[in-house]
Structure 1
C-alpha cells in the first residue's frame, strides 16, 4: 500500500491505520520507536489487545493464522506482533504470510518486525504480497553527516538547545550509537543548569560517564585487547548493566564487521563500505584491525552465538548469558575461546 520513511510514519498513522505494518532495519532504537508509535496509534483506534510472538524454536506460522482467526477475549480489535529474529520465513512462513495477505482482517493489525531485508528478500512472493496490502517502513541508520542534526532534534524534543561545538562533542562521544545519544540527552535533562548547552557544559557532562560502558567494551574488543575487554565486561556486570544492552552493542559490531567483510570480498572500497555502515573516521583503524584478525566464518559463528545469547536472555536457551557474552567478547578480540559445546549450540541456534 505505501512505502514510508520513518519521518513520514506519524503523519501516515494520523490519517489511517493500515491492516499490516512491516518494519525492518538494523537500528534497534529507531525500530523500537517506530513500533511504539504504531502500537500507540493503534491503541487509540481501539486495538486494545496485543499478542507478541518471536520466530524462535517454539514458534510455528500456523500460530499466526490461528490467532488471526480467533476471537479476542478482551477487545474487539487486537495487534498481532511477530518479530522475525533472523529475517527468514521459510516455506511455511512465506505460505502463511501470502495467505494472511489474501484476506487481512479488519479486527486485527499485523505488525511484522524484521532485521534489514536485502533485495532478494524484497523481491520474494511473500514480500510482494505484503507490498500490496501493508505499509512498509524500512529504517535506515543515521549516517555520520546526519548525526549532528539528529541530535539537535533530540535535544529540542527534550527542551534543550546546544551550540554547534557542543553537539560535535556529543557526536564524538556516542560515535553513531543512537541509543547512547538518547541516554546522554536524558542525562543532560537532569543535570543541565540551563536549557542552552555550551561546549564546556557538554564536555563536562559526557566525560562524567560510568567507568565501564559498552562503547569501551566494543572498542577494546575491536582493538584486540582481550584482557581489557574482559575487565570491562566484568565491570559492566558489576555495575548492574543489563545483559541485553551489552548483547546489542556486541551484535551491532559483529554484524557491521560481517557486512564490511562480505563487501570487501566483492572488491568494494573499504572507505565507501565503512561510510555506508556508519563507521566514523576515528573508528576505521579499530575496524580494520578486527577485520584483519577475523575471517567471515568466525564472524558468522559469532552472529549465531549472539542469537543463542538472545535466547538465553529470553529463557528459551538454558545457558548462562554472561558466560556467553564473555565468550563472544574474547572471540571478537581475536582469542579462540569458543568451547565445543558452545560451538554446537551456536550452530543449532542458527538453524
Structure 2
C-alpha cells in the first residue's frame, strides 16, 4: 500500500491568495506589533480566517492574534547562560522557570540563539571563541512574540530593547531589578539593599568600624542596591561613611595581597565587603591570597561576599555571604508573568525577594588593636 501523500504546509502567500490581499498585508497581520494597527479590522479578520482555514503554522499565530493563547512562555537571556552543570550560577534560575512554567500549565520555549551581531569587544565563550551579540529584534522583528510572554535574564542587557518591549506592551518579567528611562517594566529581584545592610550590621556587632566595600566598576542596578545597603547599614550602626572605603577594580583579577595589606595598614580597615563578579576571577584571587598566609580571613581581616560565588563546590572556601534565592526568584517571575497575562490592562509589577545569610568561615570579631590575627605586629 502506498504511503499517504504528505500535504504541503501553507504559506503566507497562500493566505494572501485566499484572503484577496497582498502578502505584505498578511505579514503585518501575522507578525503583529505597532505597524499592524494600520490594517483595517475587516482585513485582519479575513487574513486570520484564511490562516485558520489553511492550517497555517498549526494555527499558533492565528490563535494568539484572535485573543487566545499559545500556552507558551519564553525564556530569553542576553548572554550565554544556559548551564549544563548543576553548580553553575544560573542553573537554579533555569530550574525555577521550568518547574513553575509546568505548574502553571504552560510549555517553555528557550530563546538562546545569537542575533547575528558582532558581539561586545573582547566577549568570548567558555572555549575562548568570539560570542555573537544577542538581539531580541533580529531583523527588526520581535522574535519573542511566538510566546504569550517571556521571562528575561542576564547581566549585560540591551536597554534599548527593553524600552522597545515596554513601548509595544509585550508581556515580560525580568529576573533582577532593571530600569529604563522611558517606561516601567516588571521584575523580580533579590533584596540586595536589606541583605547588604544586614551584613554590615553583623560586622558592626562584631566590633568592626572600618569596613571597606569593594564594588563592581559597572553602575548597574544590583551594584547601586548593594551600595545603598552598605550606606544604610553604616548609618543604622552609627558609623559615618568614609568615601575612601568605597573602591572598585577594573579587573577583579588585579586584586593583590599587597593591596589588601595596604588597606589594612594604611586605611585601618578590619573588614571587607566584596561584590562577586560574573566569573570566578575575584574569588580565585581571594583564595590565592588566603593561601599565601600573608592576609588571613578572618584572623587578619574579616571578609564577606555580597552574593553567591559564580560557581561553588564543597571543595571551595565557604565564604561568609548572603545567598540569592535564585530558584524562588525565577518561579516568582513566572507567576508574575502569568498574572500579567490574565489582566486586561496589566500594570508593571516589581517584587523583591529576601536573601539568606550564610555564616561561612571568613568573618570574626575585630582583631585587637596593634595585632594581626592575635599576633603582635612586627
TM-score, normalised to structure 1, is 0.29
TM-score, normalised to structure 2, is 0.27
Max Rg structure: 2
